[in-house]
Structure 1
């Protein structure tokens, strides 16, 4: 008869074999129970402890595995895999000192082999820097010593590659220096080694937002806020991300939360201003920008954003708007040195090096305007085109535009000093701004005047306010000669047509005006919601009241509220039944254009009229009813309609707007004729029209250059459409 000890041993062995079988097939719960049964029979059983440690590790409970691995090793120090597994787990848990002690103890017990050698080598470069070293490196960054801080960070990650701080500091330095991709990589490594660091998560979320990875940025920022709910900066970064995603109502709430936590957070005031501007609450947005500038008077981005917002305000007169822009230029140029001498050879007929500065040479509205012109200018023997692209990401449009350039420079990572030096080194003769006071502009570089001749074109409907900007390239229909010169610091160059336009290749076929089948007129609005003010809604309401059967389609609404409720409420106040309104969220280009087939006439906004939206509508055969404004922003649609002779859709005031809308509704045959004719003959996209635009721009550039070569100051002039034209 077996002794009691032999029976226990047999039961333990049987349970151990069963546990191993269950673990092998993934039945971890059953294996766990069997391992624990073994330990009840034989406390300290090394195999059972090792099995339980392995189960804890597979379940993601790293710290729970360590006591079991320690017990397994204590029970059988001759088993090599117990040493190696325990060392590996300690390193994963970042308990490097204990791991070092353990591998030293293992060596004394005869632990050898390539696996042990690899752990020892890895441990030689892991661990944690001491507190004094961390504080010293952080102080360098806080003091603005970026180069020294970067060197300290790189030294830390080389010596301690699995410690979060070095990667965190390196990410911050790289982000500050506009090196977005490597900054994100460094921050992600920091998060890997310190997943509960709310500050690093917030920084990573902001960097991902800048890179356009919005969904991931939102997730990371929500993780940061869950760890530190009272972080004003994390809430602000989330607000900025939500704003980019078009979730304006949520962005507004997050920005307000950030300011409730820290009323002095300048970045949060800036974000709130952007959100308010996009919600069409321009007066409130300008007030928020003024708070930013009161604390950061040299924040040119905030100042430029404020000016852009003011172009949407009916209460701001053209003269006041100009004065505000000029004040921006004076403030900027007062703290910078504007160059007065260049090395460019003053030869009037030589090949010109023409630079274009923009962050919009990608899938952006500006690309629709410049691409057809760039293609033609690139073939001109007298021009060499240079691009200075101020955005960190490339897409298919970027690749196409790059093919039109003699030289392409990615400059988003360059500060103003470096970009200024680069333009001068490239010997650019004429430098052209394509942004004005819109995002990703480099106006502070233009204020330094790195090129002898500078001009602004397309990107912004108004003056830059800079004395260093010599010319503004304008369409004679939008800024007739002599009528608007006083509203620009630049001299106006009047082109017969200032813009070309590349229609979407995915545009659907045209349909007949829907009124022919419906028996009533359908108006549409495709402008961004920030352009639709209470007064715009009032005028639209008067038109809809004059045509009781008419409907209104409004597209491009924010994806998560923040626009349609407000507009619907305003129109209800005007007596318009909600049943006459249809709202559509933002959509892809083909779907967006297809909505035009449900519309007879588009309704414009004011005082900031449509540009790209008006052109898309014209390509779909839909005219836009506009109210002619007193600023360039208010005259864009007027210009585009005039090029086709559609003067009957250009109103002089609100009463005329309603009258012209009613008159158009009574002549459906004329609407049908316009619809069928526009696509095939509009001068901004026909081959002959684009050739003429490119030729006039080429002539304008040459005339600007000839004046400089002759030592003459910039002066307004009208550029001929072709050599020899009057």
Structure 2
């Protein structure tokens, strides 16, 4: 339900149906879509409903340009066909064109103001642009028209999650599931939100993951088939990575050095890409691997059959319960060995996934086995390898404290991780250092309602707005933001990961709070592998004390800024060849276990 966006919003509000329709058709003409030729090829009945229905079918198959041609034919016959306008918006959204998607939805709503689906889809696009207040209004209008609209409740939940309100999000997801219990996507969203909330124990979170498996995997187990893969412990292994994130995304950042370092004499690599978006990262990864299979258009059953035909020995999931995952393909057990890795910081709950890759810092033996349906496979050092962005700015010689005269704390993680309990602890820290500031990067902060809500949450803990530096995310050279802070604060119970490594790379010390499960110990494995055990707190009071002590030690901050990048580069965290060799050894041993 979330999409990569790449275009500016419309220049202004709708002024007339004709002007908006003219713009849509002009844009379509510019795309050189041969709608008439396409109609002749398929020869559907010459009526708008049939063209629209054919467009829906083609869009479901991932044939987006052909679907657009069908919708154009429908609109040529019936310009006021609201459904065709709305469906065309879905295709533009799938292609990453938010601008024209919004145009189509708004046109549909001019024609039919109570069109619940168009309101919901418009809300999704506005949400992705950070216009959370406007998005919420769209979802409310959708629910006013259709009180049983489960998807609108789900999207409300996603918007709440973006605002750092996981518990409100979970309440929305439960409403959606009460209306549509078989919606796996909403289940996924709720499971992810539970990891962000501090209200649930690891046992409660795991129980919910097992309920997901009972509902969606258990009915499929009777159809599991024997695998015909040759059980040779020494053969060249066929490994398949399944992900929607082979694009500009943190998962791609971590998996790219692995894909580039694989020993192709021992491993034949397949990437199953579950997304339509293609960017420079996607193109680069396509060149690295031997087999590239786009699979967004395939059903779970069809993808499982393709994996069987490809003879995959080890199938690795890189998404877990995040958006656009293919866990229901894994639930069909298409490969003899299935592995959860990297993209989700908790058990999948599925019994069909045999192993989950971790390490002894994130999950010391005996700590979390009871919260995993998979067997934990601990790598000898870290569970990941970090590759710093090639365009990284240099680290300044002087810390911001030396320029500003006061210390600046910062957290550049997804603000959804900043719960009220996190704010409460940060407020205690700021109270001990009255002149300190706190810098945060928040999606949608340029929305006045979002800013007021964030400031209000801090004000309730006694933190005045003038002590906050609230910034919108930036795509270009985002690492330069780290040059504005002295000390980074890791959120909890959902720690940072990519952000934590970026923080250290930019010479900024990070303070983390060690928790009791993987999600809350990603900061532990990062800092211990980097030789920074002194920055790991075991209690909330120690978390505040470490940050306070650092803030009062300008010489230490200065020296850390000078050495952190060099230290990180010398650790196993940035040795792609060594890490990939360890990962390959794990794959080989998993396969040998299967053979035996």
Instruction: Return the TM-score normalized by structure 1.
Output: 0.74
1:361 to 246, 268, 272: 246
Match of 2:48 in 1: 164
Match of 1:79 in 2: none
**Separation (CA, whole Å) in 2 of partners of 1:685 and 1:195:** 62
**Separation (CA, whole Å) in 2 of partners of 1:271 and 1:577:** 31
- The within-5 A match list for 1:314-329 is 314-329=198-213
Q: Deviation at 1:439?
A: 0.9
SS in 2 for 1:258: helix
Match of 1:503 in 2: 388
Structure 1 position 640 matched with structure 2 position 526: yes
Kept in 1, the 8 Å contact 2:164–2:416? The answer is: yes
**Separation (CA, whole Å) in 1 of partners of 2:39 and 2:203:** 51
Quick check: 472-481 or 694-703, which moved more? 472-481
Match of 2:87 in 1: 203
What is the CA deviation profile of residues 137-184 of structure 1, one whole-angstrom value per residue up to 9, with x for unaligned ones?
Answer: xxxxxxxxxxxxx99993326xx3xx5333212111112334334223
Kept in 1, the 8 Å contact 2:385–2:573? The answer is: no
Match of 1:568 in 2: 455
1:154 to 22, 31, 42: 42
What is the CA deviation profile of residues 511-532 of structure 1, one whole-angstrom value per residue up to 9, with x for unaligned ones?
Answer: 1211122221101110112111
What is the CA deviation profile of residues 307-344 of structure 1, one whole-angstrom value per residue up to 9, with x for unaligned ones?
Answer: 00111111100100011111111211222135251100
1:620 to 488, 506, 520: 506
Kept in 1, the 8 Å contact 2:116–2:141? The answer is: yes
What is the CA deviation profile of residues 630-649 of structure 1, one whole-angstrom value per residue up to 9, with x for unaligned ones?
Answer: 22111112221111122222
SS in 2 for 1:156: coil
1:436 to 317, 320, 325: 320
RMSD: 2.2
Q: 1:684 to 1:556 in 2, by over 3 A?
A: farther
Q: Deviation at 1:220?
A: 1.5
Structure 1 position 267 matched with structure 2 position 154: no
Kept in 2, the 8 Å contact 1:249–1:560? The answer is: no
**Separation (CA, whole Å) in 1 of partners of 2:554 and 2:340:** 41
Kept in 2, the 8 Å contact 1:154–1:166? The answer is: no
- The within-5 A match list for 1:657-696 is 657-682=543-568, 689-696=575-582
SS in 2 for 1:633: helix
Kept in 2, the 8 Å contact 1:184–1:204? The answer is: yes
Kept in 2, the 8 Å contact 1:436–1:443? The answer is: yes
- The within-5 A match list for 1:154-233 is 154-156=42-44, 160=46, 163-233=47-117
Quick check: 435-444 or 678-687, which moved more? 678-687
Structure 1 position 305 matched with structure 2 position 186: no
Match of 1:603 in 2: 489
What is the CA deviation profile of residues 591-615 of structure 1, one whole-angstrom value per residue up to 9, with x for unaligned ones?
Answer: x211110100111211111111111
- The within-5 A match list for 1:4-153 is none
**Separation (CA, whole Å) in 2 of partners of 1:588 and 1:484:** 36
**Separation (CA, whole Å) in 2 of partners of 1:344 and 1:472:** 22
**Separation (CA, whole Å) in 2 of partners of 1:186 and 1:563:** 39
Q: Deviation at 1:289?
A: 1.4
Kept in 1, the 8 Å contact 2:572–2:578? The answer is: no
SS in 1 for 2:220: coil
SS in 1 for 2:439: strand
Kept in 2, the 8 Å contact 1:353–1:429? The answer is: yes
Match of 2:234 in 1: 349
Q: 1:507 to 1:672 in 2, by over 3 A?
A: same
1:487 to 348, 358, 371: 371
Match of 1:242 in 2: 126
Q: 1:465 to 1:406 in 2, by over 3 A?
A: same
Match of 2:593 in 1: 707
SS in 1 for 2:331: helix
1:454 to 338, 346, 356: 338
**Separation (CA, whole Å) in 1 of partners of 2:212 and 2:395:** 45
Match of 2:273 in 1: 389
Q: 1:151 to 1:483 in 2, by over 3 A?
A: farther
What is the CA deviation profile of residues 94-126 of structure 1, one whole-angstrom value per residue up to 9, with x for unaligned ones?
Answer: xxxxxxxxxxxxxxxxxxxxxxxxxxxxxxx99
- Note the residue ranges of structure 2 that are not aligned, 5 or more in a row: 1-17, 20-35
Kept in 1, the 8 Å contact 2:386–2:573? The answer is: no
Q: 1:699 to 1:276 in 2, by over 3 A?
A: same
Kept in 1, the 8 Å contact 2:530–2:571? The answer is: no
Q: 1:265 to 1:688 in 2, by over 3 A?
A: closer
Quick check: 676-685 or 486-495, which moved more? 676-685
Q: Deviation at 1:409?
A: 0.6
- Note the residue ranges of structure 1 that are not aligned, 5 or more in a row: 1-59, 62-124, 127-149, 711-726
**Separation (CA, whole Å) in 2 of partners of 1:167 and 1:324:** 42
Match of 1:514 in 2: 400
Q: 1:258 to 1:322 in 2, by over 3 A?
A: same
Match of 1:714 in 2: none
- The within-5 A match list for 1:462-477 is 462-477=346-361
SS in 2 for 1:583: strand
Higher Cα Rg, which structure:
1
Kept in 2, the 8 Å contact 1:557–1:564? The answer is: no
**Separation (CA, whole Å) in 1 of partners of 2:134 and 2:409:** 29
SS in 2 for 1:448: coil
**Separation (CA, whole Å) in 1 of partners of 2:183 and 2:570:** 37
Kept in 2, the 8 Å contact 1:370–1:501? The answer is: no
Match of 2:167 in 1: 283
Q: Deviation at 1:187?
A: 2.0
Kept in 2, the 8 Å contact 1:164–1:194? The answer is: yes
Q: Deviation at 1:281?
A: 1.9
Higher-RCO chain (CA-CA 8 Å, sequence separation at least 6)? 2
SS in 2 for 1:288: helix
Kept in 2, the 8 Å contact 1:248–1:560? The answer is: no
**Separation (CA, whole Å) in 1 of partners of 2:63 and 2:178:** 29
1:535 to 412, 417, 421: 421
**Separation (CA, whole Å) in 2 of partners of 1:641 and 1:384:** 34
**Separation (CA, whole Å) in 1 of partners of 2:75 and 2:571:** 50
